[in-house]
Amino acid sequence: MEKSFEDLGNMLDAKYPLIYLASSEYGRIIQKVRTIAFKKGYEFSTWDLVDRLQTHKKAEGRNRLDSVDRHQAYEETENIESLLDFLLKGNKDKENVKEIFIIEDAHKQFSDEKFIVQLRKIAQYFKGINKHLLLLSPFFKLPIELEKYVTVLNIPLPDKSDLEKRLNVVINESNINEDLKKLLLDAAAGLTDTEAELAFRLAQKKVGLDKREAIKIISSEKSQIIRKSGILEFYHTNENLDSSVGGLDNLKKWLKLRSKAFDRKAKEFGLKEPKGLLLLGVPGTGKSLTAKSIASEWNQPLLKLDIGKVFQAEVGSSENNIRLAIQTAEAIAPCVLWIDEIEKGLSFGGEKDGGTNSRVLSTILTWMQEKSKPVFVVATANNISNLPPELLRKGRFDEIFFIDLPTKKEREKIFAIHLEKNGQKGITDFDELGKQSMYFNGAEIEEVVKEAMFNAYVENNENPQVKLVYLLDAAKEVVPLAVTMKTKIDGLREWASSRARPASSDSDVEPIEIKEQNSIKHLTKREKEEDIF
């Protein structure tokens, strides 16, 4: 955070005339820029549609640089056109005075051609007289006509040091254990300055900031605020790699090993945090469940990125949405960022969208390659034919794992997990179930257990107990998705055999064989649609 404002100070010293500040925190930005302005001997003014142009006057007799008295308003600047005319006309009495002007909500004016021309003229005029115009907007949006005249500066969300200052204001010199304070700041990471202050005050009002319960209150507020964006979702998950995920021992071993990279001693040794993982596999085999379990295993928050919600009709909004999502994830780091079915969210190729998909993809790929914050990306995919080669390149993901249909032993384990979750421990021999459920994926096994529980309840609602016969009967009624998607799964297996690591060490993989009547295979409509690999 401080680096961004240090960069701004250097730009002012270098006499940059037009600077674009991308941030939704108008109050914090204005306060920070005003402090820089007073420290460097500038006059500081802001403009918005309500208050018009106002020059901030430094309070007399106060030491704080951001202290201000009543502002001086300019009534002749009632709209943006009159403001820029006012700036271009200049003031002879202030020809040698250093000045900084901020325009709030500048992005709303870019549809006006005269505004663009006026900005170009101001860029030429201000360049030689040590005056600066700052365009403040919640996201980046710049017409091509201004690209060579405006310098863009993205202002990140508050870091831990900024949040600590806000927390200290709220606790007002009360004593809080340093370990607890660290946890409170971790819980608030990813919030704006104002949002963090409100969350701190709410926790203080409910239980007090000297209680561990305050952490849950702040985290709960954070999850609500993140969900409001509609792009990122904050997940509370209690899944566990060992007790919730059946099989996949190779993947589990890899994850447990990489979790050590977050230890303090590991960092001192020089171990780097893992970047991410691509989980490729058959639908219903536990890719999403694994993503949730990683966050629980590593004791990190889980964010889900809905790429479909990134795209907006307004030009430039999609690119800004993905940048905001990345910025939020980095502010919360260390965390797990889950991108589900990445191949569906991004329709790679084609120019019908004006190149928006390509720009969003480019932003994601560049960030994944260059990111320095510990954001572990878990991307899941069902169809590799839609994945671009550059996404699969080493450096973006640490590893690509292929999750195949569960083997017989893994199916037995999955049955046991779902029965135990539902309090059913009466079945100990799963051999027959393993045979009867050939080609079943994890989701289909879960549905078999649900069906058996319904049957058990109907038979005896006083003391319902799931019996083996109920499970076998329910399994007989299921037509596995693998049978319908045989061609696609065979293609996935062939592709992954030389390009991805198997998530399971169990080599007892069952080839999909479909019994055909009269040696003629009649494809259903769905089979024809799925047979596209």
Q: What confidence tens digit (pLDDT) does each residue in 184-241 have?
A: 888 888 888 888 999 999 999 999 888 888 988 888 887 777 777 678 888 877 788 8
E-only strand ranges, 23-70: 43-48, 52-56
Q: How far apart are CA 75 and CA 82, in angstroms?
A: 10
pLDDT for residue 400:
92
* Backbone CA torsion sign across 205, 207, 210, 213: negative
Task: Note whether 234 and 223 are within 8 A (CB).
Answer: yes
List the one residue out of 374, 310, 300, 377 whose CA is nearest residue 338: 377
- The label of the residue with tokens 């209150």 reads 217
pLDDT for residue 532:
45
Q: How far apart are CA 2 and CA 452, in angstroms?
A: 59
pLDDT for residue 533:
44
Q: How far apart are CA 500 and CA 380, in angstroms?
A: 13
pLDDT for residue 180:
86
List the one residue out of 56, 101, 97 whose CA is nearest residue 83: 101
Q: What confidence tens digit (pLDDT) does each residue in 301-351 have?
A: 889 988 877 776 666 677 778 888 888 888 788 889 999 888 876 655 545
First to last CA, the chain: 47
List the one residue out of 30, 35, 19, 332 whose CA is nearest residue 159: 332
Ranges of residues in the chain with a pLDDT under 50 are 69-70, 350, 517-520, 532-533
List the one residue out of 353, 359, 365, 360 whose CA is nearest residue 390: 365
pLDDT for residue 513:
81
Which tokens go with 369?
């390659």
Q: In terms of C-beta density within 10 A (0-12 exposed, 13-18 middle, 19 or more buried), how is residue 213 classed?
A: exposed
Instruction: Tell how far CA 83 is from the center of its chain.
Output: 38
The answer, as to whether pTM is greater than 0.85, is no
pLDDT for residue 187:
84
pLDDT for residue 346:
63
